[in-house]
Homo-oligomer: A and B are copies of this chain.
Amino acid sequence: MDTPAVVLLSGGLDSTTVIAMAREQGFTPYALSFKYGQRHLIELEAATRAAETFGAARHVVADIDLRIFGGSALTADIDVPKHSRAEEVSNPTEVPVTYVPARNTIFLSYALAYAETVGATDIFLGVNAMDYSGYPDCRPEYIEAFERMANLATKIGVEGQGIKIHTPLLKLTKAEIIRAGTELGVDYSITSSCYDPDSAGRPCGHCDSCLLRLKGFEDAGLIDPLQYQDA
């Protein structure tokens, strides 16, 4: 249990499942979250709880204000798109308006700096098949290219140990993620997924993220423990 691994932890369903998986694989998690001008700060509280639950040695919250560049529904004043059914969400031929420019690249770059600092060669990221339907920086070829670049960028890379980007959710459906996490003891009542929660932190139930989550629970034959706004 003393091999360090940096785990990108938003506090959402996916990353909370990932920190449980990293722990299960014998890593000591060094959790990393971001305040990046997102509207849904409730996620950070969920991240803190998940870091505690899964034995993180440290939890660093990096404050990066991507609003200096503008350009996304998650950070600027564009309306978050709402739907009534999950089937309306994904269109793999288009990049969603909720896309944040270079977000995963910035997140992984920070994870790389953190990894070098604590002497870790393993980085865990919760990208998955549902997400990469539209986001270019969630595709396997992107992750491979980042890993290759990371090995040229760093002391650890130069000195030959090698950085590994783990993406254990990459080919799992939402239902498979939820089943795997449930088996590892993830309490999904502590995870937040909504792009547009109300002031009490209750998820909207109609943004892309909520709909994919609800469909995941339904497909897994499980009940989502969250209280939705209109429930």
Q: Residues of A at under 8 Å CB distance from B?
A: 60, 62-66, 68-71, 95, 99-106, 108-110, 112-114, 116-118, 136-137, 139, 141-142, 145-146, 148-150, 152-155, 157-158
Residues of B within 8 A of A117 (CB): 69-71, 101
Contacts of A146 in B (CB 8 A): 149, 153
Which DSSP category, helix, strand, loop or mixed, fits chain A's interface? helix
Note all chain B residues with C-beta closer than 8 A to A65: 62-63
Q: Are A141 and B152 in contact (CB under 8 A)?
A: yes
| Given A60-B68, A68-B62, A149-B149, CB of A154 within 8 Å of CB of B102 | yes
Contact residues in B for A99 (Cβ distance below 8 Å): 155
Contacts of A157 on B, CB cut-off 8 Å? 136
Q: How far is the CA of A60 from the CA of B64 in the complex (A)?
A: 13
With A101-B155, A105-B112, A137-B154 known, 20 other A-B pairs at CB within 8 A are A60-B68, A60-B69, A62-B64, A63-B65, A69-B116, A95-B158, A101-B116, A102-B110, A102-B112, A102-B154, A105-B149, A105-B153, A106-B109, A108-B109, A136-B153, A141-B152, A142-B152, A145-B153, A148-B148, A149-B149
CA distance A69 to B62 in the complex (A): 10
Q: Jot down 28 A-B pairs with beta carbons below 8 A, ordered by A.
A: A60-B69, A62-B64, A62-B65, A63-B65, A101-B112, A101-B117, A101-B155, A102-B109, A102-B110, A102-B113, A102-B116, A102-B150, A105-B150, A105-B153, A106-B109, A106-B110, A106-B113, A109-B109, A136-B152, A136-B157, A137-B152, A137-B153, A137-B154, A139-B152, A145-B148, A145-B149, A145-B152, A146-B153
